[in-house]
Amino acid sequence: MKSDCRNFETKAVHGSSNFETRTGAISYPIYQSATFRHEGLNHGTGYDYSRLQNPTREELEKTVALLENGKECLAYTSGMAAISGLLTIFKSGEHLIVSDDLYGGTYRIFEQIYKDYGIEVTYTDTTIIENIKKSLKANTKAIYLETPTNPLMKIADIKKVSEITKKNNLLLMVDNTFMTPYYQKPLNLGADIVIHSGTKFLGGHNDTLSGFIIVNDEDLVQKLRFIQVSTGASLPPFDSWLILRGIKTLSVRLDKQQENAIKIANFLKTQNKVKKVLYPGLKEHTGYEILTNQATGFGSMISFYVDSKATVEKILKEVKIIIFAESLGGVESLITYPDTQTHADMPHEVKAKLGVTDKLLRLSVGIENVDDLISDLKNALSD
């Protein structure tokens, strides 16, 4: 990207290359090829086989790295593939400190897969710095944060956590899916690794899967790249192109989604059947001040508790515009029931301790007309 391009929106639209230099194509081409011809022995184009690298995926990786202010990015077939690839850098007997409230799929991979490989995990409320300090062990190697967390929207102070990791020679890993690099840049705040489920806001259209790891350390890049190439979790070219296309409108979508979310969060607060609204953009939210200091926005994810499971069932049955479906971050508004969907594999006692109850709903606010969305919720909440 040209050095005079300093603003996020322009970087998102034009990407790393601005256009494809060989043909001048504005929409970066889909190099739908598994393999590439060599002109002779030790004389090639720089591309061999798409599991190793592909020009479309390469453009996407450079673009995401640019947006996150990272040196390099690796694109994976899904967010969970990215997390799995990241966890393979740790050895049996090593210890991680992890946000206690986090996506159920991430909890599942820690507990049901990597625990069997001897990776030790301590879950704690990472919004409380003393909790992190108390969780440190001689074999601790990294801290893994979600901020905001999924689904309870807890906000960790990335800078303060990074002070702990740097003092103790640990890696700081931050899942930035909810905020995206448009609103929050963890590497600038002291993180070593940023993770995304690109399926969500980066793609933005609920039409493809992807995951990303962004890093600044060259040795770590080489280690992760070797693992990715060896295990084959590289993002295909067509999916790479879809995410590239989605990123072009990221800032426009997020601004509209956030605008809608603020209005909906305030509406939900007025409803008798709604007992508590969890949205970081509300001034009464516990993490409001921290997020204001480390991010430029609040995002469009809302969780809220209602008065009964019967109300949950009524809302999920009667919403018409808002779609009852898993996932988040797309242009369509989606409502999810964490207890039996995103956090189904989390033990009941763990969910109960966290507050992931049978009265909790999670709403991913889209770009529809906000009056239509509020009307939809009002109808579903009516007697």
User: Residue 79 in contact with residue 108, Cβ under 8 Å?
Assistant: no
- C-alpha distances in angstroms, 133 versus 63, 125, 193? 36, 11, 20
DSSP letter (8 states) at residue 29: P
Question: Could you tell me if 236 and 211 are in contact, meaning their C-beta atoms sit under 8 angstroms apart?
Answer: no
3-state secondary structure of 99: strand
Residue 247 half-sphere exposure toward CB, CA atoms < 13 A: 32
Please tell me the distance from the alpha carbon of residue 354 to that of residue 357, in angstroms, as a whole number: 8
CA–CA gap between residue 314 and residue 319 (Å, rounded): 8
Reading across the β-sheet that carries 334-336, which strands appear in turn?
A: 274-278, 301-306, 360-364, 334-336, 323-324
Q: Which strands, in side-by-side order, build the sheet including 171-175? A: 72-76, 211-215, 193-197, 171-175, 140-146, 95-99, 120-124
Q: Whole-angstrom Cα distance, residue 187 to residue 166?
A: 13
Q: Give CA–CA dist 297/280, Å, rounded.
A: 9
Strand 140-146 relative to strand 95-99, pairing: parallel
Please name every residue paired with 72 in a beta bridge, in sequence order, or none if there are none.
215
Dist CA 370 CA 167 (whole Å):
46
Say which residue the tokens 């990715």 belong to.
Answer: 228
Give the residue numbers annotated as catalytic, written as ranges: 51, 103, 175, 200
What residues does 49 pair with on adjacent strands?
35
Distance CA 279, CA 285 (A): 7
Distance CA 363, CA 376 (A): 13
Look up residue 8 and give its two tokens.
Answer: 């996020």
